[in-house]
Amino acid sequence: MTNDPVDGEPPPLVAADLAQALIRPGGLWREIRVVAATGSTNTGLLKAAAAGAAEGVVLAAETQTAGRGRMGRSWVSPPRAALIFSVLLRPADVPASRRGWVPLLTGVAAVSALRRVASVDAVLKWPNDVLVRHKKLAGILAEQNGGAIVAGIGINVHTSPPGPAGAAATSLEAEGAPVSRDRLLAAMLSELEHLYLRWARDPDGCGLREQYQSMCDTIGRTVRVELPGGRVLAGTAADVDAHGRLVVRDAGSLTAVSAGDVVHVR
């Protein structure tokens, strides 16, 4: 599936090749779209979901001009410098209390794919970052509209834009792990399909929580959590619970956090 570079530039993604490799009877993926540019792949799929699009649509972009991270942060990438895509999911049989696992599930798929095809020691930072050597390699954002959930991910392949608030970032190229974006996207979608279908059948018994815990670099660390509303919680990250919340131990008490920015305190 890998395309050869032209004049030293990363080759474009080819939707037809990806569809041929990934769309199969009984599988999750129904349609793979690739656009040259968009404001945000998440926004595009949320609009498609509102118009009735079925589960299993993938939207990838060579560049996005109005990408969003958590807490309303902007995320912009030069053309073909990153792997940027979103997927449309409709986990109708999953209880609402368990749907917060979608961004964490996406993170597990990303780490599994990156370890397999790029051979990097990727780990997860709760709730939505993929790290290599304590530097941010990828970010995940999941958004819900009714029964639809759109999960988007941006993976730095050829450049390392600054992380949030100046945090260190990296790319696969900087890590000496060159891998084509089409190969990485195929691996990501394959891992995501496997994990999601298993989770959708049995959210509590599929082993996702244990898999996430084994990949999560936040658990066991001293952390500072910046909560919505300006509050700050400091303590030790003790666990990720059955709802996907980070459990922080502070002065002997346990607090479950469903949303917030986590800083690993060294």
User: For position 79, what pLDDT does the model report?
Assistant: 86
22 CB-near residues (< 8 Å, 6+ apart): 29, 32, 186, 189, 190, 193
- Cα–Cα distances (Å) from 236 to 126, 177, 210, 219, 229, in that order, read 13, 32, 19, 8, 21
Give me the tens of pLDDT residue by residue for the chain, a chain 266 residues long: 555 443 467 899 999 999 999 999 999 999 999 999 999 999 999 999 999 999 999 999 999 887 555 545 555 667 899 999 999 999 999 999 999 999 999 999 999 999 999 999 999 999 999 999 999 999 999 999 999 999 999 999 997 665 555 568 999 999 999 899 999 999 999 999 999 999 999 999 999 999 999 999 999 999 999 998 889 999 999 999 999 999 999 988 999 999 899 999 97
Residue ranges of the chain assigned to CATH 2.30.30.100: 218-264
Q: How far, in Å, CA of 221 to CA of 148, rounded? A: 34
Residue ranges of the chain assigned to CATH 3.30.930.10: 15-213
Three-class SS of residue 137?
A: strand
Q: How far, in Å, CA of 61 to CA of 46, rounded? A: 15
Using CA atoms of 264, 125, 97, 52 in order, give the dihedral in degrees to the nearest 10: 140
Task: Give this prediction's pTM.
Answer: 0.92
Dihedral-angle region of residue 142 (phi above 0 means left; psi in -120 to 50 means alpha; beta otherwise): beta
Label the pairing between strands 222-226 and 261-264. antiparallel
Q: Considering the domain 218-264, what is its CATH architecture?
A: Roll (2.30)
Q: To 10 degrees, what angle do helices 208-215 and 181-201 make?
A: 140
User: For position 5, what pLDDT does the model report?
Assistant: 42
User: For position 73, what pLDDT does the model report?
Assistant: 55
Q: What are phi and psi for residue 103, nearest 5 degrees?
A: -65, -30
Tokens of 154: 């941006």
Options 3.30.930.10, 3.30.479.10, 3.30.830.10, 3.40.710.10; CATH for 15-213 is 3.30.930.10
238 CB-near residues (< 8 Å, 6+ apart): 219, 220, 247, 248, 249, 254
